[in-house]
Amino acid sequence: MKLRILFGFLICAGVVASFFILLNKEFLSHNKEGEVESMITVRFQTTELKARIAKTTPERAQGLAGALTLVEDEGMLFVFGAPGKYSIWMKGMRFPIDVIWIDENKKIIDIREDARPESYPAYFTPRYPAQYVLEVNAGFGNRHQIKIGDAAEFSL
C-alpha cells in the first residue's frame, strides 16, 4: 500500500513538474552557451512572433551576429532605457533582416526592409527616436502587412 501511495505521489509530482517546465519553456530559451534568455511575444494587427530580448549593452552589441538562421516566427527585440535614434549595422550577420523601430508608445515609427550582410559597414538609423528595435527575417514585414504607424503589443 505504501508503495502505491509513493508511486502515485511521484507520478503527480512528475505531472506538476512537467507543467511548470512547459509553461516556462514558452518564455525562456537557451543560447548556444546554454544560458537562459528571456523571450517575449510581439503582436501586430495580423501576426505575432516570439522575440529574444536584448536589453544589456553586451546583448545588444551581439544581437543576431553569428546566427546562421532565424526561425520565421521569431526575432530579436532590442530594449533601450529611453527613446533615441538607435542605429543597427550588419557586422557579423549571415542573412538579411527587416528592422522595425518602435517608439515608447509601441507604435512603429520606421522600417528598414531587407538589410543585407554585405551592407556592412553601413548602418541604418530611424527617422525618429525609438525605444525598441525589432529584427526579423527579411520580407517578414511585407508578408504580414506590417507598416509604419501600426501598433505593437508586448507580452510574456
Which pLDDT band, with edges at 50, 70 and 90, does 46 fall under?
A: confident
Task: Give mean pLDDT, residues 13-27.
Answer: 34
Task: Give mean pLDDT, residues 67-93.
Answer: 94
Task: Give, in degrees to the nearest 5, the angle at Cα 98 between 81 and 57.
Answer: 30
Together in a domain, 24 and 86: no
> Residue 137: pLDDT above 70?
yes
Closest CA to 45 of 138, 153, 132, 139: 153
Together in a domain, 25 and 93: no
Together in a domain, 24 and 42: no
Together in a domain, 70 and 109: yes
Together in a domain, 92 and 50: yes
Residues 6+ apart with CB under 8 A from 79: 53, 54, 55, 131, 132
Together in a domain, 121 and 138: yes
Q: What is the pLDDT of residue 38?
A: 85
More confident residue, 59 or 14: 59
Bridge-based pairing state of the strands 28-30 and 36-43: antiparallel
More confident residue, 45 or 19: 45
Which pLDDT band, with edges at 50, 70 and 90, does 4 fall under?
A: low
> Residue 7: pLDDT above 70?
no
Together in a domain, 83 and 55: yes
Q: What is the pLDDT of residue 145?
A: 95
Q: How many domains does the chain have?
A: 2
Domain limits for position 13:
1-30
